[in-house]
Amino acid sequence: AGKTMAEWLRFGVAYWHTFNQRLVDPFGDGTAQRPFDRYTDPMELALAKVDYAFDFYTKLGVQYFCFHDRDLAPEGDTLRESNKNLDKVVDRIEQLQRDTGMKLLWNTSSLFTNPRFLSGAATSPFADIYAYSAGQLKHSLEIAKRLGAENYVFWGGREGYENLWNTDLKREQDHIARFFHMCVDYAKEIGLDAQFLIEPKPKEPTTHQYDFDAATSIAFLQTYDLADHFKLNLEGNHANLAGHTYQHEIRVARAAGMLGSLDANQGDKLIGWDIDEFPSDLYETTAVMWEIVDEGQIGPRGGLNFDAKPRRTSFTAEDLYLGHIVGMDTYAAGLLVAAKMHEDRFIEELVSTRYESFDSGIGATVEDGSATLASLEEHALDVPQADLMKAVRSDHLECVKATINNY
Ligand code: GLO
Ligand code: NI
Ligand code: NI
Ligand code: NI
């Protein structure tokens, strides 16, 4: 379709899983063996980590990276001190970007790790925490500007509630909407040209998160007059947690014109939490890439960020490479299958045939807006059941699945 594979597959590496994950689980200590673990001074460690990261990106051959502010540098006792630590590492990243040409797909702010955020950040019931979050976000947007971020992500890790009996849901949503408007205003003020993205997730860590899924997030953005400023960053594992397929979330966002970027991981369908597997399911990547090819792009500035981590049993540095390679290969294969399916047009034809009764007659009056309940009633009133059943055709879904299997 006139695009190279690399243009379709703008791969990015997530700093948090790749370089911060110690591969712990609730029952066990970290198993990760990383070359930079010998550093004991926190700032020395922070700088060694970004050096290692950029070497990793280069060897892997990706174009993009993504990070949270707090992935990069240790916090100080005050926001001012934390900003100072962060700026030292950002200086190094600026240099490394110049040396390697690596681009920032997006950055974001961790408003969920530190215990101060235990009841939320921009939905915290405590005004000092809200102000702190706003201050932290301001600096994070400045970093986006410095490093030329193509997008900026908001994942509301603790923006939700544990229990409605102690929560003013409407007030919390009003607050976070104000927060987003302030972010839009500040981006404009400093000339930050990054696409803002909300990343929906239904739960974990919070029992109920406000950005539950694509549909909920779109409704929130429209309600608060934010729809012109945000699109969505969709994640496979989050889709599954919300009871959806990844393809569903992407299609819902596309229908609203809000597809922004993808966190390319996959959920283990047997486990009910966000285990962030590297994508290895060719059926899923085919479905995702089918949507992307149909859309013409992931989003105006979108990419495929591997928000994924190795399992605790894969603890060597080599496993980090292998995980990403599996993900890249599975997406590349998915793209090839999806492109061929589009070329053959059998899905397109199947869908347009299925709706052809809306192309003329009574169906066309629905599409052109001239139908009323009365005109439709008149059409329907005396049609016998047998004729109605003639109008309903079998979908032959097993044949569709088998056809896809042939690719
Ligand atoms: C967690 C999310 C998380 C976000 C990232 C952006 O489940 O997937 O990894 O993508 O933190 O804030
Ligand atoms: Ni994510
Ligand atoms: Ni996730
Ligand atoms: Ni994640």
pLDDT tens per residue across span 321-367: 999 999 999 999 999 999 999 999 999 999 999 999 999 999 999 99
Q: Which of 67, 71, 199, 238 to mutate to test the pocket of ligand 1 (most atoms within 8 A of CB)?
A: 199
Whether ligand 1 lies within 6 angstroms of the CB of 172 is answered as: no
Tell how far CA 336 is from the center of its chain: 22
Cβ neighbours of residue 144 closer than 8 Å, sequence gap 6 or more: 104, 106, 107, 152, 192, 194
Write down the residue that tokens 């591997």 correspond to: 306
Which segments within 185-322 are labelled E, that is strand?
195-198, 208-209, 230-235, 259-263, 304-306
Whether ligand 1 lies within 6 angstroms of the CB of 65 is answered as: no
Q: Determine which residue's CA is closest to atom 11 belonging to ligand 1.
A: 155
Beta-carbon count within 10 A of 358 CB: 13
Whether ligand 1 lies within 6 angstroms of the CB of 199 is answered as: yes
**pLDDT tens figures, 43-102:** 999 999 999 999 999 999 999 999 999 999 999 999 999 999 999 999 999 999 999 999
CA 275 to centroid of ligand 4, rounded, Å:
8
Instruction: Show which residues are catalytic.
Output: 68, 71
CA 235 to centroid of ligand 2, rounded, Å:
6
pLDDT at 373: 98
Chain mean pLDDT for the chain: 96
Atom number in ligand 1 closest to CA 68: 12
First to last CA, the chain: 18
The partner residues of 67 in beta bridges, in order of sequence, read 107
**pLDDT tens figures, 209-257:** 999 999 999 999 999 999 999 999 999 999 999 999 999 999 999 999 9
**Does residue 376 surpass a pLDDT of 90?**
yes
Beta-carbon count within 10 A of 253 CB: 26
Whether ligand 1 lies within 6 angstroms of the CB of 206 is answered as: no
So what's the ipTM on this one? Answer: 0.95
Which segments within 141-229 are labelled E, that is strand?
151-154, 160-161, 195-198, 208-209
Whether ligand 1 lies within 6 angstroms of the CB of 211 is answered as: no
Per-residue pLDDT band for 272 (boundaries 50, 70, 90) equals confident
The token pair that represents 262 in the structure block: 């993808």
Q: Which residue has the higher pLDDT, 299 or 243?
A: 243
pTM for this one? Answer: 0.97
CA 250 to centroid of ligand 1, rounded, Å:
17
Beta-carbon count within 10 A of 212 CB: 19
Q: Determine which residue's CA is closest to atom 4 belonging to ligand 1.
A: 155
The token pair that represents 50 in the structure block: 């970004």
The letter for the amino acid at 314 is: S
Atom number in ligand 1 closest to CA 265: 8
Whether ligand 1 lies within 6 angstroms of the CB of 274 is answered as: yes
**pLDDT tens figures, 25-44:** 889 999 999 999 999 999 99
Atom number in ligand 1 closest to CA 17: 9
Beta-carbon count within 10 A of 15 CB: 22
Distance CA(281)–CA(171), nearest Å, equals 41
